Chain A
Amino acid sequence: MCSACGFPALAGHWSDAGVSSPGDKMRIRFTRLAIVNRLLKPYRLAAHDDGATPGFQLLAPDGARVMVKNLEELWKEAGRIAGTAVDPLSARALGDE
């Protein structure tokens, strides 16, 4: 367990497959963060990844920060804060509303 953030060593979320070298892992964290933020923007949320702590920090409009350990938790928590599921196929996400 990480004594700074409290998360145990992760068993590996399915989305983390296919990357084993540390360089690739780091590059991918930032590729992903950009996409996560595009998806969160219509819901007035944002995510932050400091590159060191596992998982993401989810930033709510009121300034609250929530730590989440993987993408699945991120979407669930974001849906809870936004009051509606973060759905990439919805009219809201696609800007049709």
Chain B
Amino acid sequence: MIVNEAAETPVDNLLLTNAAHADVLAGGCACCDGREAFVALLRTICGMRDAQGAGAFDQIVLETSGLADPGAIATAISGDQMLARRLIVEDVIVLVDACHGAAQLSDEALCRAQIEAADRIIITKSDEPSARDTDRLIQTLKLLNPSANIEGAEKGVPVKLPAHDDATPYPLSGSGIETVPIKPHRLDISGGGGWASFSVWLSAVLTARGNDIVRVKGVVGSPDGRLLLQSVRNVVQPPEILPEPDDTGNGFLAPAEGVIVLIGRHIDEPTLERSWQKFVMGTGS
């Protein structure tokens, strides 16, 4: 476990005495000022794992500073020659304070960037505001990131959230902030020659639209097997080869091969489909 704090004096590590192993990175956020120290620490940890028998682990939990942009952290990892080969960003978990979440979402671009990058959103202190306010917050979060799982928790214990889908989301205005919510878009690439063709098209799309397309997920066929694709903004994780469906045992749920989900704004499915047909399939207009 790595605890990162932007301030010089660490506090959070004192609360985490039960972690198997905790490192503290204080005095710089891992996504910006503290990036070098963060990358150096990850390298050390990967090195320790290689040392014989010492501290075997298969997961690192990074507790970021509240000011961190998950996209920038993914960039830092994939931009490092050693870490890019060793680590995969598996889950981006973002905590939302039920009392202050709505105000933060309306004023702070960073807060929106964190929500958009999340795989799981955990709402804390959900019993403090009225159930109706919490409902509205949940609907706002769903609007911003329709693909994330939204859960409630209190001091690490899961709690049930109110569930009224008819609540009105908070208005998302805010000056200078992108107000168009992100949406998931599906693209069927099953007839298109697999990874070799898809990655050419996708690399062009992400280079041009990396700020608008916040996530891309899917399973794509390749000569070596099925690849699991995941991106955070314009950073694509080194794709992993998935085990074949019949030898995975059970419990492994991968998305269907050949359907890609692009989550972002200013894109639409008909345009994606036309672009795919024209450039990859070489047909259509």
Which chain A residues have a beta carbon within 8 Å of chain B's beta carbons? 11-12, 14-15, 17-21, 24, 28, 31-32, 34-36, 38-39, 71-72, 75-76, 79, 85-90, 93-95
Contacts and interface: CB of A to CB of B under 8 A. Distances in A.
A88 B202 CA distance: 9
A4 B241 CA distance: 33
Majority-rule SS of A interface residues: helix
B208 A79 contact: yes
Contact of A88 (B78, B208, B238, B241): B208
Which one of A12, A34, A35, A88 has the greatest number of beta carbons of chain B within 10 Å?
A: A88
Contacts, number: 111
A11 B222 contact: no
| Contact-residue bracket for chain B | 35 or more
A62 to B, nearest CB: 22
B204 A86 contact: yes
B37 interface: no
Contact of B81 (A11, A15, A79): A11
B238 A17 contact: yes
Nearest to B195: A18
A34 B201 CA distance: 11
B279 A35 contact: yes
Contacts of A20: 223-224
B81 to A, nearest CB: 5
A67 to B, nearest CB: 17
Contact of B272 (A28, A35, A89): A89
B223 A24 contact: yes
B234 to A, nearest CB: 9
A28 B197 CA distance: 8
B265 interface: no
Contacts of A75: 203-204, 207-208
B207 A86 contact: yes
B129 interface: no
A11 B84 CA distance: 9
28 contacts: A11-B81, A11-B85, A14-B78, A14-B199, A14-B236, A15-B199, A15-B202, A17-B199, A17-B239, A18-B194, A18-B223, A18-B241, A19-B196, A19-B224, A21-B223, A34-B282, A35-B197, A39-B200, A79-B208, A87-B204, A87-B208, A87-B209, A88-B205, A88-B275, A93-B275, A94-B274, A94-B275, A94-B278
